[in-house]
Amino acid sequence: MTSINTIQGFFSLLFNLVGELWNGGATAFWVALAVGVLLAGAAWWLASYVAFNFNRQFSMHPKHHVYCGVAAILTLIFTLLFFAFKFTGEVAERAVSEWQAVIGIDTDWKNKTFAEAYDAVYELKNPQGNQLEDFSRSPHPNTGQNTAVPVNYPPSKQAVAKIYGSSAVEHFRQRYPFLSLILWANSENAEQALITDMKRIFSSGASMYASEKAVQLTSTMIRNVLKTQVPRVIVISRAILIAAFLLIQVLVFGLLARAALADIKEKHQQHRLEEV
């Protein structure tokens, strides 16, 4: 997971939220926009007022108007996002559902994960030091032949479940790097469910467990875990938004206050020189 992908995921989430706000009804969007414009104007006036209170003779230069403009524009954006964040649950749930659909048809991921599971079970030994499972009818995936991972013993089931669970979690993190910082994908429930299902299948007389079933069950369990965390996304996202908004406003006001105080100092020095 790279920082660039995380940032892209963040802006993608914001874009989808604004899209949901628009799709949710034009009235709601225009109301949010109107509130944003009013607050943006208030932010511009407040920034100017702060500078004026520090120095009543302070003259705004173009760069100071840029500061005020930045504060106003960001206020407008933050207001729209604040209204849009009520759709965070829908956006997050859709992302999780899309991920499950994608992982189900991701051939490269399935082949790689199957090969990892095969190799992991192949390396398992019994107490006598012999190979735990019988691979005589299970050629390596690299041969291109039809094959399966034998999982007749508990260590084999655990190894396969762990690999599929952790690999599915990593797949979600790579596809949704920013969302995965908020939705904590956990493979423990998926691993246990996979082991239980293997036992059920083998108790019916089956000798192999289909890898497709492992993918479906693992992704479904992880999706369910993720969806239970969706409500938390709204709270965390709004908290981040408010913190970022306040930080930027304080920065802009600080720059204007500094400019106003510097202007006072400069005029005071000029006055002293004139007296001399």
- Going from the C-alpha of 59 to that of each of 47, 62, 94, 187, the distances in angstroms are 13, 10, 51, 60
Max alpha carbon distance in the chain (Å)? 105
Q: What is the pLDDT of residues 60-93, one digit of tens each?
A: 667 767 777 777 888 888 888 888 887 877 887 7
Please answer whether residues 132 and 126 qualify as being in contact, where contact means their C-beta atoms are separated by less than 8 angstroms: yes
The fraction of the chain above a pLDDT of 70, given in percent, is 84
* Residue matched to tokens 């992704």: 219
Please answer whether residues 120 and 174 qualify as being in contact, where contact means their C-beta atoms are separated by less than 8 angstroms: no
CA 151 to chain centre: 35
Q: Which neighbouring-strand residues pair with 125?
A: 131
Tell which wins on pLDDT, 98 or 55.
Answer: 98
- Going from the C-alpha of 136 to that of each of 116, 125, 147, the distances in angstroms are 18, 15, 10
Please report the pLDDT score of residue 118 as a whole number: 93
How far, in Å, CA of 1 to CA of 9, rounded?
A: 11
Q: SS3 of 94, please?
A: helix
Q: What is the pLDDT of residues 185-232, one digit of tens each?
A: 667 777 888 888 888 877 787 666 777 787 888 888 877 877 787 777
* Confidence band, pLDDT 50/70/90 cuts, at residue 263: low
* Confidence band, pLDDT 50/70/90 cuts, at residue 53: low
Q: What is the pLDDT of residues 23-40, one digit of tens each?
A: 876 777 888 888 888 888
Q: Is the pLDDT of residue 108 over 90?
A: yes
- Provide DSSP, 185-237: ---HHHHHHHHHHHHHHHHTT-S---HHHHHHHHHHHHHHHHHHTHHHHHHHH
Q: Give me the phi and psi of 101, to 5 degrees please.
A: -65, -40
Contacts 24+ apart (CB under 8 A), 127-130: none
- Going from the C-alpha of 229 to that of each of 78, 88, 102, 181, 197, the distances in angstroms are 24, 12, 21, 12, 25
What residue segments make up the domains of the chain, in order of their start?
A: 8-89+231-275, 99-230
Q: Is the pLDDT of residue 55 over 60?
A: no
Mean pLDDT, range 228-250, rounded to an integer: 80
